[in-house]
Amino acid sequence: MRGLILSLFLASSSLFANIYVLKPIKITKDITCVIGDFNPPTKSNKGFVSNMCYVDMGDSLVVLDAGPTYNFAKEFYALMKKEYPNKKVSSVVLSNYHDDRTQGVSFFRDLGAKIIGHKTINDDIKKNPAKFTRMKRIMSKADLKNTKVILADTLVDGGYKIKGSKKTLTILKPSAASEERSDIAIYSSSDSFLFVGNMVFNGRMLNYTKHSNVEGWIKALEKLSKVNAKYMLGGHGKRYDKDSYKPSLNYLKILKKIVKKAVENDVNMEDIKIPDNVFKKENIPYYEKLNYNNVSIYYDQLQWG
């Protein structure tokens, strides 16, 4: 009965214009992704600022991140059904707990999909309620209709496998914490494809938060690079070549080296200068503001522990 109701709902909703503009990109024969806006969530992008994918497992589809709203997930699902009209979504894997990746889960839960996240993800959601208020500030009630904060029902660690009839996805946890504790990567060996979420930014400045760990982030990227996948797609940015992680890794190494040296030499945070690097040279949006925030947060971590 639930499936029938949802089918009728989807059919009726198709009579109305889509809220989002989703342009599918075929990474491999079985993996399709959409690329989010490079800006933070705004009224115009309606929270669609992150990359999401779906994978044809043979007997079902697996979704990699669920998007910012119920409506987004509904439109993303319509994209899947257009390509695979007879396949259901068996699982949704959340690469971390952020609202732009998780709030669409409410739609996929209605489909009966399994919601998979790292073993820390539900704690991160519960401990950071403010993270789930920003969409309410920029979107209407209609845009956010049916959007809810939903906890993962399957908590996993590195090594967990999602098996389909023609391929297997493996969860990788390359360090205890990178940008967040709940950061994970999803690897398809048969596609030589890695989806690494917020561990990799390109075309957009990375965001170092109070929960981030520079040592763990560097370790994670170095480990993921050794997987030697042909394709690596981060959470933000349109690059998905095997070297797409390098701008993030280079920046983190520079950040670590210069800020640590400044703290050791009692240099004030305001006087720390991060030289132009590959991020700056690519004319990255919000470089100055986010770079200042990154330096400030890491400086405080070193000062106060």
pLDDT tens per residue across all 305 residues of the chain: 555 445 544 544 444 579 999 999 999 999 999 999 999 999 999 999 999 999 999 999 999 999 999 999 999 999 999 999 999 999 999 999 999 999 999 999 999 999 999 999 999 999 999 999 999 999 999 999 999 999 999 999 999 999 999 999 999 999 999 999 999 999 999 999 999 999 999 888 899 999 999 999 999 999 999 999 999 999 999 999 999 999 999 999 999 999 999 999 999 999 998 876 656 656 788 888 899 999 999 999 999 87
3-state secondary structure of 21: coil
Q: In what order do the strands lie in the sheet with 231-236?
A: 161-163, 168-172, 185-188, 193-201, 231-236
- Tell me the sheet residues that pair with 36: none
The Cα–Cα gap between 269 and 248 comes to 22
Q: How many CB atoms lie within 10 A of CB 183?
A: 30
pLDDT recorded at residue 282: 62
pLDDT recorded at residue 7: 53
Q: How many residues can be counted in the chain?
A: 305
The Cα–Cα gap between 147 and 155 comes to 22
pLDDT recorded at residue 271: 94
CATH of domain 2-246: 3.60.15.10
Q: Which helix (H) or strand (E) holds 301?
A: helix 287-304
For residue 118, the Cα-to-chain-centroid distance in whole angstroms is 13
Domain boundaries, the chain: 2-246
pLDDT recorded at residue 12: 46
Q: Which residue has the tokens 């198709």?
A: 14
Distant-in-sequence, close-in-space partners of 300: CB < 8 Å, separation ≥ 6: 269
Task: Indicate the pairing of strand 25-28 with strand 31-34.
Answer: antiparallel
pLDDT recorded at residue 288: 86
Residue spans of beta strands (DSSP E) within the chain:
25-28, 31-34, 52-56, 61-64, 89-93, 114-118, 154-156, 161-163, 168-172, 185-188, 193-201, 231-236
The Cα–Cα gap between 263 and 12 comes to 60
